[in-house]
Amino acid sequence: MRIQIETQKTYGVRILASCPMDNHFHGIVTTPHGNLSDFMEQFESRFAKYSNKRHHRVGHLFQGQYRCVQIEHDVQLLIAVCYVFFNPVSAGMVTKPELYKWSTYAATVGLAPCPSYLSIDWLGALFPNRTLEQAQARFHQLMTDGDPVYGYLNDHAGEAVDRDALRRVVRSYVGEQLQLATLPQIYRSVLRSSLTELFAEDANSSARANAIYEAYVTHGYKLAEIARHLRVNPSTISKIYRRILESRREGEK
């Protein structure tokens, strides 16, 4: 923690969320001075020295360069923090994000003291006209309900909206942004439909082929996962995907 505080102060970086995992870590930060590369280089270097000394090791600790994604609006910020905080749950390490003691989630929602290096004023931007305590409670409730983006957008709609319709709109938007490379593909799991939802039992062959394309391209499922769900050979799914892909390319000419 001391490394975080000292490096943060040196570069003026504000840490909004963090979640170290077994072999990697996730973080959301703001860099008013545009010096993220300098901050990450120093932070990773100092942490590597600390880890090597503690575990009596030598050499590199981190493999490759970090991945950076720029967050441009409130919904993308919400998707990002959901992804970061749900990581230990998705990995099967805990059943609820607040149970993972290495994450800043518990401090963010007021279930643990807020460390000095953590900035949670972004909650005020997502939930205006609420006190910090109210914003923390609402964010925690949205995460507990399991569909935080729907709940967040529903809060701002002014009236109840159709859940399925809203989820389709949001997922369609996310899918488009993923294909344009404006959102990282790792965010897919936060919003994607289940394979059961994507594949109707009574669908004809054409509808199923399109569903395979959407499941793979928009929602990020692997072809092997789709094959297991449909109980067919992976090579069959691969052939269907290539066929629908070629058909769509021909239609664009």
Reported as a single tens digit per residue, the pLDDT across 205-225 is 888 898 898 888 777 788 998
Reported as a single tens digit per residue, the pLDDT across 23-74 is 677 888 888 766 677 776 666 666 556 556 665 666 555 555 666 677 777 8
What 3-state class would DSSP assign to 56? coil
pTM of the prediction?
0.61
- In the chain, which residues fall in CATH 3.30.70.1290? 2-157
Spatial distance between the Cα atoms of 120 and 125, rounded to a whole number of angstroms: 10
The pLDDT of residue 191 is 56
Report the b/e string of 197-227 with b at 16+ CB within 10 A. ebbeeeeeeeebbbbbbbbbbbbbbebeebb
Q: Which CATH architecture has domain 2-157?
A: 2-Layer Sandwich (3.30)
pLDDT at 233 over 70: yes
Phi (first) and psi of residue 25, to 5 degrees: -145, 155
The pLDDT of residue 246 is 84
Spatial distance between the Cα atoms of 105 and 118, rounded to a whole number of angstroms: 11
Spatial distance between the Cα atoms of 151 and 156, rounded to a whole number of angstroms: 9
